[in-house]
Amino acid sequence: MKVELRNLTKIFPSRNKKSGEEVIAVNDFTFTIPDGKLIGLLGPSGCGKSTTLYMISGLQKPTSGQIFFGEDDVTELSAENRGIGLVFQNYALYPHMTVKQNILFPLQNLKGADKLPKAEMLQRAYEAAKLVQIDELMDRKPGELSGGQQQRVAIARALVKMPKVLLLDEPLSNLDARLRLQTREEIRRIQKETGITTIFVTHDQEEAMSISDMIVVMKLGVVQQTGRPQEVYDDPTNLFVAKFLGTPPINVFAGEVKSEKLYIGGVAVLDVPGVEDREVTVGIRPEGFVPDANGPLVCKLNSVEVMGRDVSVVSTHASSLNPIVRSIVNSDYRISSEETVRYSLKSHKVFLFDRRDETRIRF
Amino acid sequence: MVESKHKWKAWLYLSPAIVLLLIFTVWPIINTIRMSLLVDYSTIKETGGYAFDFGIKNFVRVLNYPKFLNCLKNTLLLCVLTVPLSTILALLIAVCLNAIKPLQRFLQTVFFLPYVTNSIAIGMVFSAMFNIIGNNIGSSTQLITTAGIINNIIGVFGVDPINWINAGSSYWANITVLVVYIVWDALPFKILVLLGGLQSINRQYYDAAKVDSTPRSRVFTKITVPLLSPMIAYVVITAFIGGFKEYSSIVGIFGDGMGPAGDKGRLNTMVGFIYDSLAASQEGLASAAALILFAIIFVVTMINLYVSKKKTHY
């Protein structure tokens, strides 16, 4: 099912009545989520991504704007009638019920024509459990399960009624690092198998990039950029998006453009055709540095961290806006000097941003 | 583990509590058992140097005493009627209170007020409400029209006035008044406990139920009640214990005659029996009755705990 958000806005009234300041959690969000895709809503905490998810679920009402499921306007429809599946951050499994009872619960709520015979309910519960590989644990209580298992039960409970849309709120945040990797692949697999349009919320860019068909990057309630993960990474629209995506993070320098050349620390490092003379903020991806004995960018070497296939070079530069400059270079390269390291730059890994409003300046 | 050389310190810190418990709890219990086993024991006789026979005759006498059996019947009846009624009512009120946003704090206070009001005073108010005699005593026909507020209210619906608590009233009329009073008196504490329990239930369970289109009745029976079950068990157990100790409510409404005028003692309870025996210098009988009451409370509480263990989700 296609999900369409039109000018979705959510304003929370101020807690402090005297100041009367409202909080705009989500501001004019317009986006169409194609049928059967996995979408990651990404942003730092407080950016409105969870609010957006809860508005899609119907648990929160938008202040203005519309939500469409397919061709149907569901904006005024309550959560009960939207037919969505929702996996809560803390899973919200009913602690007094067994896994089986938890998964059966949504089916037992079906009324009228949708009502299922007992045998079929049980069969569907077992199918859902098999899909997330917890069919061995059906008689346990949630308290007797690990975080990863609870998470699967929550997904099974959300899937069992065959929702039109599956929503996941920070689904991996309660899992340890190893389980997180495993479970995100699992979510991807389940989503592919069922073909259900899935929207998940995360603050972890790596998580979003690795499994999403599309990502939506948000900041302070405003959508910054949407697109396929690689596109957004390779072509950020502003400094925030560039900084938010990528590990290790992008290196940021103060720079200046003079006669179509980019200067960092008074040295011309790159040709930037078509950019008029101005002061800029320069973002360089760690993989954008090429060690070069005659390279223009000279950094003071701090340390070299060998990571097997790649080498991470930590250095400093006077014009860097971060404390360190981190580059990822091929391990074939040997650092010769012990004091400095010289780089030339890959121009498609270098982004220029307006010094003031931080928007992208393309070249 | 406390190292042995520091053990004396632990005992030192505990000693004030231990000394107080020994004097005011442990010794009275031992003394009660002693008195119950000395036939026809009374402190006056003991001071006079009387030597008592040792035996269970006190218990036999108490259990064969029609007055005591009447007290036992009244106590059990009030327990069985009031505990479920007050628990269910408290649960419904707590759920309603929890569901409303405006005036919640105000209403919470209103519902809690009876708890901080003296139960004898409330009893007197109740006895005024259920009285058939109003302030202006006139001729026999005028009596009814100036009756307490309850008879006036049911009169509006065309029901004949009922003699609730006055001389000549029926036993069941008396019990009805007592049940209303005890339930009303028991509500605030139960509402407080249950409301606290409700407010500690994670909202997400309700959001999850909402997303799964759960009907309201099912949310109540399948989510609220099970998640509240530890509080419900606590409220029921304490209500039974309190019910077996019922005394002051009857004094409040009927005075220490423990019954309507003309039939004193009809509504007496176990605790009332113990007080009466003490007043008559029959400490041996009183002790035996107290131990019987203890045994009953103990058994009922064990049953309660056993049932709640099976039904409660902790």
Is B208's CB within 8 Å of A88's CB?
yes
ipTM above 0.90, yes or no: no
The token pair that represents A332 in the structure block: 């074939």
> Which residue of A88, A96, A106 is in closest CB contact with B313?
A96
Over residues B277-310, the pLDDT tens digits come to: 999 888 999 999 999 999 999 999 999 888 888 7
Rounded CA gap, A254 and A354, in Å?
11
Over residues A313-356, the pLDDT tens digits come to: 999 998 899 899 999 988 777 766 678 888 999 989 999 999 88
Q: Judge whether B213 is closer than 8 Å to chain A, CB to CB.
A: yes
Contacts of B202 in chain A (CB under 8 A): 90, 92
A281 and A254 Cβ atoms separated by less than 8 Å: yes
Amino acid A225: pLDDT: 93
Write B4-12 long-range contacts (CB < 8 A, 24+): none
Q: Judge whether B214 is closer than 8 Å to chain A, CB to CB.
A: yes
pLDDT at B84 over 90: yes
Give the C-alpha distances (Å, rounded to integers) separating B55 from B37, B41, B60, B69, B286: 5, 11, 10, 21, 15
Give the Cα-Cα-Cα angle A34, A38, A44 (nearest 5 degrees).
110
Tell me what the mean pLDDT of segment B171-185 comes to. Answer: 91
Query: Which residues, 6+ apart, have CB-to-CB distance to A66 below 8 Å?
Result: A4, A5, A6, A7, A8, A73, A75
Over residues B3-40, the pLDDT tens digits come to: 666 788 889 999 999 999 999 999 999 999 999 998 88
- Helix (H) / strand (E) element for A258: namely strand A251-258
Q: Which pLDDT band, with edges at 50, 70 and 90, does B136 fall under?
A: very low
Over residues A271-286, the pLDDT tens digits come to: 888 888 999 999 999 9
pLDDT at A224 over 90: yes
The domains of chain B, with CATH numbers, are 62-131+166-311 (1.10.3720.10)
Amino acid A304: pLDDT: 86
Contacts of B208 in chain A (CB under 8 A): 86, 88, 92, 94
> Which residue of B207, B214, B313 is in closest CB contact with A109?
B214
In angstroms, the separation between the Cα of residue B194 and the nearest Cα of chain A is 18
Contacts of A111 in chain B (CB under 8 A): 215
**Which of A329-333, B129-133, B135-139 shows the lowest per-residue confidence on average (mean pLDDT)?**
B135-139
Tell me what the mean pLDDT of segment B94-122 comes to. Answer: 85
Tell me what the mean pLDDT of segment B249-255 comes to. Answer: 87
Amino acid B176: pLDDT: 92
> Which residue of B204, B213, B218 is in closest CB contact with A88?
B204
Give the C-alpha distances (Å, rounded to integers) separating B130 from B123, B164, B253: 10, 6, 9
What integer best gives the mean pLDDT of chain A?
88
A103 and A153 Cβ atoms separated by less than 8 Å: yes
Over residues A84-135, the pLDDT tens digits come to: 999 998 889 999 999 999 999 999 988 877 788 889 899 989 988 888 888 8
Q: Between helices A118-131 and A147-159, what is the axis angle to 10°?
A: 130
Is A96's CB within 8 Å of B227's CB?
yes
Peptide bond connecting A236 to the previous residue in cis, omega within 30 degrees of 0: no
B232 and B87 Cβ atoms separated by less than 8 Å: yes
**Which of B89-93, B260-264, B265-269 shows the lowest per-residue confidence on average (mean pLDDT)?**
B260-264
Over residues A225-263, the pLDDT tens digits come to: 999 999 999 999 999 999 999 888 999 999 999 988 999
Contacts of B222 in chain A (CB under 8 A): 94, 105
Nearest CA in chain A to B223: A94
In angstroms, the separation between the Cα of residue A135 and the nearest Cα of chain B is 21
Rounded CA gap, B274 and B267, in Å?
14
Tell me what the mean pLDDT of segment B109-121 comes to. Answer: 83
The domains of chain A, with CATH numbers, are 3-244 (3.40.50.300), 251-361 (no CATH)
pLDDT at A14 over 80: no
Is B212's CB within 8 Å of A78's CB?
no
